[in-house]
Structures are given as C-alpha cells and as structure tokens.
Amino acid sequence: MVEPLLLWRRLIGAQIRSQLQYRLSMTLDFVGSGLISFVDFLAVLVIFHNVPRLDTWGVREVAFLYALSSISFALTDMLIGHLDLFPQLIRTGNFDVLLVRPRSTLLQVFGSDFAVRRLAKAVQGAAVLVYALSALDLHWTVWRAVVLLASVPVGCVIFGSVWVVGACIAFWTTDGGEFTNAFTYGGNFMAQYPIDIYSAWLRRFLAYVVPLAFVCYFPALYVLGKPDPLGLPRFLELSSPAVAAVAALVAGLVWRFAVRHYRSAGG
Amino acid sequence: MRLDWEIAKRGWRRYAAYPWATAAGAFTNTIFGFLQAYILLAVYRHRSDVGGFDARDAVTYVWLAQAMIMTVYIFSWQELALRIRDGSIAVDLARPLDPQRYWLAFDLGRAPYHFLFRGLLPFVVGAIVFDLRYPSPLDALAFVVSLTFAVVVSFGVRFLYNSAAFWLLDFRGVMTLTITVVLFLSGMVMPVRFFPGWLRDAAYALPFSAILQTPVDVWLGKRDGLALLGFLALQAGWAVVLLALGRFVLACGTRKLVVQGG
C-alpha cells in the first residue's frame, strides 16, 4: 500500500517542480482558474437576486452545497488529474507504455496529469464555505463537525469513481473523450444545487445510479439540520462513506474489465 | 472569395472527421441542458416573469444556449496563439491570405458544422421534453443573421486574446481571464435578463452579449421592426470594431515579431 503512494508522490512532485519554474505564468493561471470557477457562484448569486428561496433552500444553504462540491471537485482534480488527457493516451497508443510497466495502470494515469492551478478552485470553494458557515448560524455538534470534515474526502472518492467509469468510455470510442466532461463538469454543476429541484427521473438517476447526491446533498442535510424536502429515510444522510466505498469498488472493477479489453490503437 | 470558400470547407471537414467527439459533446450539452432547465424552472416556481422572460422563454434560452455553445466557440480556442508561439506564424504571414482572413474563413466553415451536428441534437431532445417557444419565419431569418454575427464577434474576441501571444510567452492567463468575462457577460451561465438592472444594462452595452444573448433574444421575438434592425446593427457594429482592432493588433504584433531560430 505504501509503495504505490510513494510512486504517486514522486510523479506529482516532479510536475509541481516543473510548474513552479515559471512563476508569473503560474500566478496568472492560478488567478484565472480561481475566477473562472467563481463564475458558477455568480450564477447562484444571480438566481438569488431574483428569488429569496429555491424551493426550500436559501442562498446560504446553496452556497454551502456549492462550496462542498467545489472543494471535493478541486481536490479530486488535484489528486487524480482531470483524466482529460487520458483519451489521448488511448488514441495515440501510448497506453501501451503504461501496460508494460510493472505498476498499476490506474495509478500511472492518476499521476500523469497534475496542475497546481487546480488548487485555485478549492481556494475559492473554501472562501464560499467560510461565508456560508458564518452566515448560516448553525447549531454545532461533534457529529455535525465530523460529517462536514469527512464529506470532503468521501466526496473525492465518489467524484473520482464516477470519473474513472466515465473515462473508461475512451477504451471503446477513441475520440469520444468529451463524454467524461458530462461526468466531471456535469457532476460538479449538478451537485452544486439541491437535488430536490430536479425532476424525479433525473433525481433518481443521480441519487442511486451515479451517486452524486451523496457528495453534497445528503451530508449537507445532516450538517445543516435540515429536514429532507423529499422525505427520504434519514439514514441516507450518513451513508455517504458506504456509498463511496461501493463506488470505488465498482470503478476499480470497471477499469480492470476495460483494460482487459483494451486493443491498442497505435501501430 | 473562392479561396475563402475552400478554407471554410476545410474548417467544416476538420471537425467532421471526428464523429464520436461530436456525439460525446452533444451528450454533454444535453446533460447540462437538463440540469440548467430544471434549475431555472425552480426559479419560476416563485415568480412568473424575470426581466421579460417567462418560464417558456427561459427554458428555450437554455436549449438555444446549449445548441450555440460550440457554434460560437465560447471555450478556449488557441490555434493562432500556438502558431505564434512556435513561430509557424512566419509561414502564415508569407501566404497570400493574411492570418485574420484565413482563420475567419476557417471559423465560418466550422460554425455551421457545430450548429448542425453539436447543436441540433441537444435542441431536439430539449424540444421533445420541454415546451419551447419557436420563432416566426421573419424572426427565424433574423436569428440566422444574428447567429452569423455572433460567430464573427466571438471570433473577434478570440483573435484578440490569441494575439496576446505576440507579447507574452504564456498567453493562458489572458485567455482564461477573457473566457471568464465572456462566459458571464454573454449570458452563457445565466441569461443577461436575470442580472440586476445596472449589470444588465452594462452587459447589453458590451460586445459580449452579442455572442449569445442577442441571438437568443432575436429567436424569442423580444425585438421587432426598427428595434430589431437596430439590435442587429449593433451586433454587426461590434463585429466590425473587433475585426478592425484585431487587424491593428496583428499589424503591431507582426512588426515586433521575432521568430526563434532565425
């Protein structure tokens, strides 16, 4: 278990050092990335300029969802990379190189695409979280604090699992890399809003098939002490870690299945 | 003119070569369309009119925006900047067609491909599931004109941030900042009509709204008669101003250009 982590740290470390070589570019990139993700929060503010509540949700509560989703998304993006470049590996046939190395292919893909600028999204997410928490006037208990702290790593595992499954599509459609965007950016966008505003079919799909509702919505209900507008069983609010474990297991199995069926595109 | 046509055909074919990429993109646009449509419909559970848009207008806006997102190429375009950075621009400048005209022709060939193959599918899905508003024949015609202007305005903006590469080795920062402004002020993330009054007026006065909000307003028949003509004229005016500015920047950049490696 330790050895793969060391390997991952090495892969990432090299990329951090190389990106810090160009300080000015890095800074501009960092500021730009922070601002471009902040546009999504502006959208939330624009909505609440027009209405005081979105069904039962106020601006502070949606800000809380937004912050949780942004932070989990950004950290996942930092830790495993965007998997954006992954379809390119398949298309060019460079995935073959990963296969001959005596290390996990998934780990090599995770370590291959690291960008310091992605931290910027987490920073703006954290800023929104501070705003939301200070404005919300929450009644804190130990368990609520625990759930809040745990929801970030748990959210990362769920996001990561969904992305891996999404990226596997590239094994079959070599130039269909953009499918992953529906899972990555789409998942993030979806999780920023309370799922009860979506129509029933979409909501069920998101809650039970692609378990993105467990990234923010259910943990948020618990932390905010908010009764579920959908009236779903209370235990769902605490089941995110279990869902994350299942999601990771499924993602691992799908990845192995896909790799076994990989037919190199390169000559 | 014949040359422009040939280049435009290449612009079309470049993207037509990757049908799966098109399908994947259309799928992603459809997902985003559903999410945004339900979010806006939640707003309309509390009120019936926002800035002159009713619920049906808003949902139509959502699917038009998803259909147009690639047509007007809102996300990063950096082909020119990459050619400036690696010095290939020197070859381009020696061609009988200057880079601005070349890339504009290319872009006007690309846009109809994206409109038909990236845009139509999400829109049809949206039209099946939701109750959308459709234009009168005259507004439909005006929409096509407006959409063409929108592509040129967007191209004008993209050409400018790409030209930054003449001065900056790393143009990404400028590009990201510009895209941020375009995303918000064009009405891509939220309709400009939802903005608070002062911001809304500012957004309508700036060229960015001509990239998305203007064609949407035209489709929805929000202007008619002389007002419609004035609306289109303003859009065309921005296209001309941005192209002129691009030409000026290109001239300055060319004068300062130093191609690495002699």
For range A77-100, the mean pLDDT = 79
What pLDDT is attached to residue A1? Answer: 62
Using 50, 70 and 90 to split pLDDT, how confident is the model at A138? Answer: confident
B161 touches chain A (CB under 8 A): no
Q: Is residue A217 part of a domain?
A: yes
What pLDDT is attached to residue B259? Answer: 59
Nearest-angstrom CA–CA distance, B242 and B104: 12
Residues of chain A contacting B, Cβ within 8 Å: 22, 24-25, 27-29, 31-33, 35-36, 38-40, 42-43, 46-47, 49-55, 169, 173-179, 181-182, 185-186, 189-190, 193, 197-199, 202
- Domain of residue A27 covers 2-260
Closest Cα in chain A, distance from residue B18 (Å): 7
% of chain A exceeding 90 in pLDDT: 43
Calculate the alpha carbon distances from B20 to A90, A177, B16, B24, B191 in Å: 14, 9, 10, 6, 30
Residues 6 or more apart in contact with residue A182 via CB below 8 angstroms: A166, B24, B27, B28, B31, B32
Question: Does the structure show a pLDDT above 80 at A85?
Answer: no
Q: Which of A21, A31, A51, A184 should we substitute to test contact with B (largest number of B Cβ atoms within 10 Å)?
A: A51
Calculate the alpha carbon distances from B85 to B93, B159, B174 in Å: 14, 14, 15
Q: Which of A39, A176, A177 lies at the smallest CB-CB distance from B183?
A: A39
Lowest mean pLDDT among A59-63, A146-150, A218-222, A233-237: A233-237
Question: Does the structure show a pLDDT above 80 at A49?
Answer: yes
In DSSP terms, A57 is beta-bridged to A54
B167 touches chain A (CB under 8 A): no
Q: Is residue A151 part of a domain?
A: yes
Per-residue pLDDT reduced to its tens digit, A185-200: 888 999 999 999 999 9
Decide if A28 and B194 are in contact by the 8 Å CB cutoff. no
B81 touches chain A (CB under 8 A): no
Calculate the alpha carbon distances from B5 to A36, B2, B11, B101 in Å: 36, 5, 10, 11
Q: How many residues does chain B have?
A: 262
Structure tokens that stand for A40 in this block: 């999504």
3-class secondary structure, A123: helix
DSSP B87-156: TTHHHHHTSSS-HHHHHHHHHHHHHHHIIIIIIHHHHHHHHHHS------HHHHHHHHHHHHHHHHHHHH
For range B57-64, the mean pLDDT = 97
Residues of A in Cβ contact (< 8 Å) with B32: 182, 185-186, 189
- Split into its structural domains, chain A has a count of 1
Tell me the residue type at A98.
Answer: L
- The domain spans of chain B are 2-256
Q: Which of B262 and B195 is assigned the larger pLDDT?
A: B195
Nearest-angstrom CA–CA distance, A182 and A205: 14
Q: Is residue A266 part of a domain?
A: no
Residues of B in Cβ contact (< 8 Å) with A184: none
Calculate the alpha carbon distances from A158 to A10, A238, B185, B206 in Å: 25, 14, 33, 41
B195 touches chain A (CB under 8 A): yes
Nearest-angstrom CA–CA distance, B65 and B185: 13
Nearest-angstrom CA–CA distance, B185 and B181: 6
Decide if A35 and B180 are in contact by the 8 Å CB cutoff. yes
Residues of A in Cβ contact (< 8 Å) with B175: 32
pTM given for the model = 0.90
Helices (H) and strands (E) in chain A — how many of each?
Answer: 12, 0
